[in-house]
Structures are given as structure tokens and as C-alpha cells.
Structure 1
């Protein structure tokens, strides 16, 4: 039998898009953000289980109802610019466009132009058998997205999650499968004379920028769904957690510059983003 519990992770991000370069088709924006979280506890007989969040890790871990995401960018990250990445480790950007086309790219240094924050998460439990783990998913039952002045910004946005700094755990999510109108879409990323399509991004490797398949996945692929009497779990979790182990969660939010929805049409746009996690308990033998 599986026991389930969930906890809210409320990331309220207000994004003020501000167009900076009139000759560029990319939008720059300034971001202010405030974040709150709360915990939920499941208890069955002598077993207890709580999903805990903290702004600090290690011996400083302290589960609180309101935990701020600690920004870890090496820069202030107050001005964000569309970037492109295949792995959440190496980002590139276009410093300028020529005749509306981006064909020159540089590696992003000091984590400029995108948001990078960090939280710590733990499934605290007692009374469970050895080998018990918790599978972590997303839960949109109460709404993934808060309020948005328009959905245009969200179509070009990406949410990246990395657990314990392991690149193998990196997940890049599309926040919506909706697309902007054709009049708001642009195909203006050019590599080796070839214009990239909607399913391509840029990768940086050994000082060279090249085209790659867009690694982003629909957020629904990691999201539980509910009916009146059942729960449907995705085929794979974001993370399988050992009990009482602290995990680092790195959170990336950025505009994918190669996305055709990343155009001047998103300037002056605003959005609130809310995420919820859902845990499914896997009991070990004994």
C-alpha cells in the first residue's frame, strides 16, 4: 500500500519585462521575487512522515513554514536576458542581433541573465522499514500558475530543477504547451547559416556553440493527476528520496532565447509562478 502526502512550494515571481535594445528582438526583464513555503505531515499509527523545506542545508537545516529561496547567482540577476542551454550548466546568449537575426553567441559568465535559487528538502520519517523511499512529483491540482497578465511570457519560459548538483538529475520543464500567435513568434537564431526550428536550442561545448535538440519536457510528465477516488502517478519521479536525507534543490528560471515565442511581444509582461510537490511513499521489505 502506498501512503501519499504533499507539501506546497509557493514561488511567487513577479516579472517586469523591459525592452532594452530597440534593434534586438529579444526582451530583457527585471525580476523581483518573494517566496513562501509550508509543510504537510502524514501520520499512520506509529509512523510519521513530513516533507520539510529549508533555506539552509547541512547542520543549519531548519524546517520552517515560510522558507525563502536563496539566490545563489554570482551576479545580482536583476536584469535577465534570454539565454539558451541544453544542460542547465552551460548557458549562451546573443549580445546583439543583426537585421533582426541572432548569429553570434557568447557563454554566459557569472550566471548573468537568468535566475538561480536554492532550497533544501528532506523527507523526515520515523517508524518505517529499511529501504523506504519517497518519490517526488509535481502537483498542479490547485493551480501551477498564479496570475499572469498574459500567457505570452510563460510560453517562452523554462523551469530547471537540479537535485544535489547532479547534472544527471537535471530536468528542464516547459510551463505550458500553449503557443503564442504567429504574429508574436520569431525564428531568428542562426547557426552555420541554418535558422533553428522550434524544437532546437543551443549548446556550448569546448568553446563552440552548436544546435541541439530542445531537452525541455512538458511539466505534465512529472505531475500527478487526481480523480474523485484515485491518484495517477507519472511514469517517473523528479527524485527518489531516502528518508531523513537532506537534498539540495537548485531552481533555474529563464527565457529560452531559441523558443519562437521569445520575442518583443513578452515585454512588459508579468506572471506569478506557483509550484507544489507531491510525495508517494515506497515501503521497503520487512
Structure 2
């Protein structure tokens, strides 16, 4: 009797083990399915149709007259002029969603749940040049110190409502004054009220700041700010500007500053969804200098 009871217990134990193994296999299969489904998801992307040059506005006069001018170059050693061609680190054909809190590290979603909410991420520093518009230009304030702002009239980062709502423009400027890091929203460059929205992360108005070893993200508040405060105000004549609310950087006489920039789709933005696909844009950076009083 005792032997039969023990035999039954052993049989039940084996069945429990088989059930656990089956459950484990199902859990793994479920995880793989999640990854496969997410990998097959069509992520938003944004085509680039043009390669416009950068543009700087002299503060007055011409270079030959020896008056103060803000000049630009794609090389730190020059030559410096009023325009230069943009040179991109990866020369991408399209933008793909990434997320960053500081422009130092970028992350991309690798899995979503059935509601389209990102659940796993990986570090994207190795592909950021292929998935964002990333490059560097150099500014020089000739003959006098100046404060640098954006030139609203010449700055072009797209016109499509969905794309402008989903994109960010990151800038890291290094000069004697220090290194200034900015992430700008682009809603002010167009009417974005018609842009479609859908949650892509559990919260809202957040971006990814880190990812742990399991691929789980840490979120922080979206640090992006409006462009308008950093625009130069129009002066009394063409190519004449007055100080805006906040300068991007102050340059000393003849100083050269590096301006590293990223134009990218913020993957955590509620407008960064499939509706942003197949959009095109010409890109033109534009700066204005205001002489320091």
C-alpha cells in the first residue's frame, strides 16, 4: 500500500515537472512572440529630400569692410563664410525613432505590446548617425564679440505638421563660455494642431534616460523647450537683428565655436506614430549674431 502511494506521488511529481516545463516553454514562446511582433512593427520614419546649406546673417556691413560679421564653416580651421554645406556624420536617407534626455546617449525601442506601447529598449549610440541627422558646423564672430541666436526667417527644419510635432532639434554648442546643450520642440515652425496622436510609452511628456541590463527603460520629463526664446528679433533693416530673449552662446572677438546638431524623431512623443511616414523636407540651419553692447 505504501509502495503504491509512493508510486502515485512520484507520478504526480513527474506530471507537475512536465507542466512546469510546458509552462516555461510557453512563457519563452510568449516572450519571443512579443519580440517578433514588435520587430515586425512598422516604425515611423521621415524621408529627407534635400540638403540645403546653412546660413548665417552678418551683423552689419561686409567682411571686406572689416566690420563685425558672424561667419560659418564645416571645418574648425575654416575657411569661414556666410554659408556652408552641411556634412552629416552618417548621411541617412531617413530618420527613425530614437529617444534621448541629454544628447549624450540615445535609445531605441525594440519591442512593443499589442497596444503599441514600447516595453523594451536598447542603447542606440552605435546607430544614431544612421537614424538621425547629425553633424557639426563652426561659427566665428569676426572683429568683435557677439551673441548668437537662431535666424527665424532662414531656419528651415520642415513644414509637415506631423513631422514637426514628432521631431526634435538638439544642439550642443561649445565655446569659451562653456558647453550649452539644448533640445528644441519644432511646433512653432508650423501649424501642428492637425497632427495625429497616440500613446507610445506608459506615461506622457517623457523620454528615455537610461536602459537597464534587461532592456527596461528609465523615463524622465521631456527636456525639450520652445525655439522662440532663442530667436533674434528683427532690426530696422534687412540683415539687422536685435537681441532675443535668450542667447544660444556668446562668442568673443574672432572666437570659433563648435555647433553639434541632431535632427531626430523623438520615439516617445505621442505624435511619433505611423502617420509621420513618407514625409519629406529640406533642411537649412540659420544663425544670427547681435553685437555685444
**Which band: TM-score by shorter chain?**
0.7 to 0.9
What is the aligned counterpart of 1:156 among 166, 185, 189? 166
Counterpart pick for 1:50 among 56, 69, 72: 69
Matched with 1:214 is 222
CA distance in 2 between counterparts of 1:146 and 1:115 reads: 11
Q: 1:223 maps to what in 2?
A: 231
- Corresponding residue for residue 14 of structure 1: none
Give the deviation of 1:38 after TM superposition.
4.9
Tell me the SS of whatever aligns to 1:104. strand
Q: In the alignment, is the contact (CA less than 8 A) between 2:70 and 2:82 conserved in 1?
A: no
Cα distance in structure 2, aligned partners of 1:251 and 1:147: 16
User: Hey, what does 1:96 align to over in structure 2?
Assistant: 111
Which secondary structure state, in structure 2, belongs to the residue aligned with residue 265 of structure 1? helix
Q: CA deviation at 1:41?
A: 5.8
In the alignment, the residues of structure 1 paired with residue 241 and residue 67 of structure 2 have an alpha-carbon distance, to the nearest angstrom, of 21
State the 1:144 CA deviation. 3.6
Q: Deviations over 1:123-173 (max 9, x none)?
A: 111xx5xxxx21101121x3544763x321111111111112999411111
Which structure has the larger Rg over C-alpha atoms?
2
Note the 1:68-79 alignment, pairs <5 A: 68-73=85-90, 77-79=92-94
Q: Which residue of 2 aligns with 1:87?
A: 102
- The alpha-carbon deviation at position 43 of structure 1 amounts to 4.2
Correspondence 1:188 to 2:206: no
In the alignment of these two chains, the number of paired residues is 243
Deviates more, 1:260-269 or 1:162-171: 162-171
Partner Cα distance (2:110, 2:49) in 1 = 23
Distance in 1, matches of 2:203 and 2:277, equals 22
8 Å contact from structure 2 (residues 165, 186) kept in 1: yes
Q: Does structure 2 retain, via aligned residues, the 8 Å contact 1:174–1:216? A: yes
Which of the pair is proportionally richer in helix?
Answer: 2
Q: CA 1:78/1:135 → structure 2, altered by over 3 Å: closer, same or farther?
A: same
Alignment of 1:28-67 (within 5 A): 28-38=45-55, 40=58, 42-43=60-61, 48-58=67-77, 61-67=78-84
Q: Which stretches in structure 2 are left out of the alignment for 5+ residues?
A: 1-37
Provide the rounded CA distance (Å) in 1 between the counterparts of 2:120 and 2:193: 26
Show the counterpart of 1:175: 186
Q: Residues 185 and 246 from structure 1, CA distance in 2 versus in 1: closer, same or farther, beyond 3 angstroms?
A: same
User: TM-score, normalised to structure 1's length?
Assistant: 0.73
CA deviations over 1:228-271 (Å, ceiling 9, x no partner): 69966333210111111211111100001111111111111122
The corresponding residue for 2:141 is: 123
Shift of 1:48: 1.7
The CA RMSD measured in Å over matched residues stands at 3.1
**Larger % of strand: which?**
1
Name whichever of 30-39 and 167-176 sits farther off.
30-39
Which one of the candidate residues 232, 239, 250 is aligned to 1:240? 250
Question: Is the CA contact (8 Å cut-off) linking 1:116 and 1:251 kept in structure 2?
Answer: yes
CA distance in 1, matches of 2:210, 2:219: 9
Counterpart CA distance in 2 for 1:81 and 1:147 is 16
Report the secondary structure of 1:257's partner residue: coil
* Counterpart position of 1:26: 43
Choose 227-236 or 107-116, whichever is displaced more.
Answer: 227-236
Give the conservation status (yes or no) of the 8 Å contact 1:87–1:167: no
Distance in 2 (CA, whole Å) between partners of 1:210 and 1:115 is 25
